């Protein structure tokens, strides 16, 4: 992602004498324009008809969404779907071509400088001062936010301990990628933002560190912080999200809770076949397409097919296995968030 350093510059801009209200006032999105006469404290972010074009390419195509205060909202989509451009606009890095958003009461178009004190941003790429220690990195960002010195030190200590990187005297240059990732998360939180944007927070982490970050994010939610998450880890999205929006080709194509998305998918049962050769895969795919109860077939890498079907064990035994003469492995499982994503977009997250 190319905007990490720009976001880091945003984070370290010195912000002083800015009033921040505890309750956000969000305007209604019942019409094409915000209705100044209808106010609500339920949502901390409202996006309406937001667009961004680069020359003749429309990266974000008139999206609208709402984020409740204190929820974790995940924005998912394959590469090129427009989610990164959306986040860059919501974090004030990129100016929209059209539309507007209300973030913590303020207009993204007219009052973006007033939005900055409310947000924290952890970009996808690790951006740290490698010559400084972890503590110095965090305290530096705190000073740039105009925080009181005692508050900076107290909060830095607490956050670094939670991320298990406190008390390290060596410079960040000696840190592993996972440690730098956790340090970046801490740096984005030093100013106690009301809204935290997390871009791939667990990328590059081992399972133990990933679990640590997930538990930390859950604790942040308990404080009432609003979190906007973008991730390629579908398990992460499934475990953490209150609501999910799936983007593709610049538009939001699905929205809901994980359970709502699953219940509305009509995927049925899921089978994963793997084959020894591409030839076997094609033969199987052609035969499966003839079965009425097979609703969707997705071809994956490494000679794998993912099949959704109805009819349960009877269809599996009498129809599917009767058509497939040769396969390497077979795995039956429940419908997952990734299955829904593949069905909606026809491609994987990293395509």
Q: Residue 5: CB partners within 8 Å, gap ≥ 6? A: 123, 125, 127
Q: How confident is the model at residue 125, as a pLDDT?
A: 86
Residue 298 has what pLDDT? Answer: 87
User: Residue 321's pLDDT is what?
Assistant: 87
**How far, in Å, CA of 142 to CA of 152, rounded?**
6
Do β-strands 57-68 and 304-309 pair in parallel, antiparallel, or remain unpaired? unpaired
Give me the pLDDT at residue 314, please. 79
Kind of pairing between the strands at 119-122 and 195-199? parallel
What band does 310 get if pLDDT is binned at 50, 70 and 90? confident
Output the pLDDT for position 347.
63
Please state, in angstroms and as integers, the Cα–Cα distance from residue 163 to each residue in 147, 170, 213, 276, 326, following that order. 21, 16, 7, 44, 49
pLDDT tier at 253, thresholds 50, 70, 90: very high
Kindly report, residue by residue over 254-282, the tens digit of the pLDDT: 999 988 887 776 666 888 999 999 999 99
pLDDT tens digits, 135-166 = 999 999 999 888 999 999 999 999 999 999 99
Q: What is the mean pLDDT of residues 207-234?
A: 92
> How far is residue 92's CA from residue 322's CA, in Å, rounded to a whole number?
57
CA distance 110 to 26: 15
Q: Could you give the CA distance from residue 328 to residue 244 in angstroms, rounded to a whole number?
A: 35
Q: Among residues of the chain, what percentage have pLDDT more than 70?
A: 85
Q: Which residue has the higher pLDDT, 229 or 29?
A: 229
What average pLDDT does the chain have? Answer: 83
Instruction: Say what the pLDDT of residue 4 is.
Output: 44
Q: Average the pLDDT over 215-230 and give the result.
A: 93
Across 170-195, average pLDDT: 93
pTM, rounded to two decimals: 0.74
Q: What is the pLDDT of residues 320-338, one digit of tens each?
A: 888 887 889 988 877 778 8
- The yes-or-no verdict on residue 299 having pLDDT over 70 is yes
Separation between Cα atoms, residue 266 and residue 22, nearest integer Å: 41
Close Cβ partners of 221 (under 8 Å, ≥ 6 residues apart): 70, 71, 72, 227
Say how far apart CA 250 and CA 52 lie, in whole Å: 9
Q: Which of 240, 201, 200 is nearest to 222 (CA)?
A: 240
pLDDT of residue 197: 96
Share of the chain above pLDDT 90, in %: 55
Q: What is the pLDDT of residue 48?
A: 95
Residue 223 has pLDDT above 50, yes or no: yes
With b for 16 or more beta-carbon neighbours within 10 A and e for fewer, the 102-120 pattern comes to bbbbbebeeebebbbbbbb
The pair of three-digit structure tokens given for residue 3, joined into one six-digit string: 């905007």
What pLDDT does residue 43 have?
A: 93
- What pLDDT, on a 0 to 100 scale, did the predictor assign at position 1? 40
Which pLDDT belongs to residue 111? 95
Average pLDDT (76-101) is 93
What is the band of 34 on the pLDDT scale with cuts at 50, 70, 90? very low
pLDDT at 348 over 70: no
Residue 204: pLDDT band with limits 50, 70, 90: confident
The structural domains of the chain, ordered by start, are 4-262 (3.40.50.300), 268-334 (3.30.70.920)
Predicted confidence (pLDDT) per residue in 61-76, tens digit: 999 999 999 999 999 9
């Amino acid at each position: 992602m190319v905007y990490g350093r720009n976001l880091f510059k945003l984070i370290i801009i010195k912000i002083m004498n800015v009033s921040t209200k505890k309750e956000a006032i969000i305007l209604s999105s019942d019409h094409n324009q915000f209705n100044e006469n209808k106010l609500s404290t339920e949502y901390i972010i409202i996006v309406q008809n937001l667009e961004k074009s680069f020359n003749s390419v429309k990266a974000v195509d008139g999206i609208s969404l709402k984020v409740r205060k204190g929820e974790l909202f995940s924005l998912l989509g394959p590469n090129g779907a427009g989610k990164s451009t959306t986040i860059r606009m919501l974090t004030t890095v990129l100016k929209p071509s059209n539309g507007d958003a209300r973030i913590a009461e303020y207009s993204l178009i007219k009052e973006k400088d007033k939005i900055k004190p409310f947000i924290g941003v952890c970009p996808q790429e690790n951006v740290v001062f490698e010559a400084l220690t972890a503590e110095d990195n965090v305290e530096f960002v705190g000073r740039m936010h105009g925080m009181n010195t005692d508050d900076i030190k107290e909060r830095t200590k607490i956050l670094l301990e939670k991320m298990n990187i406190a008390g390290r005297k060596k410079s960040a240059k000696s840190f592993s990628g996972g440690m730098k990732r956790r340090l970046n998360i801490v740096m984005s939180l030093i100013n106690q933002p009301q809204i935290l944007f997390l871009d791939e927070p667990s990328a590059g982490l081992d399972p133990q560190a990933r679990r640590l970050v997930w538990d930390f994010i859950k604790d942040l939610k308990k404080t009432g912080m609003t979190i906007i998450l973008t991730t390629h880890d579908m398990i992460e999205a499934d475990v953490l999200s209150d609501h999910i929006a799936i983007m593709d080709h610049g538009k939001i194509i699905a929205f809901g809770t994980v359970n709502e998305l699953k219940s509305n998918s009509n995927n049925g049962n899921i089978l994963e076949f793997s084959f020894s050769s591409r030839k076997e895969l094609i033969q199987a795919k052609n035969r499966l397409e003839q079965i009425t109860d097979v609703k969707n077939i997705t071809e994956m890498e490494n000679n794998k097919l993912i099949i959704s079907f109805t009819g349960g064990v009877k269809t599996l035994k009498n129809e599917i296995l009767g058509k497939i003469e040769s396969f390497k492995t077979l795995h039956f499982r429940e419908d997952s968030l990734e299955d829904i994503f593949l069905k909606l977009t026809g491609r994987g997250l990293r395509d």
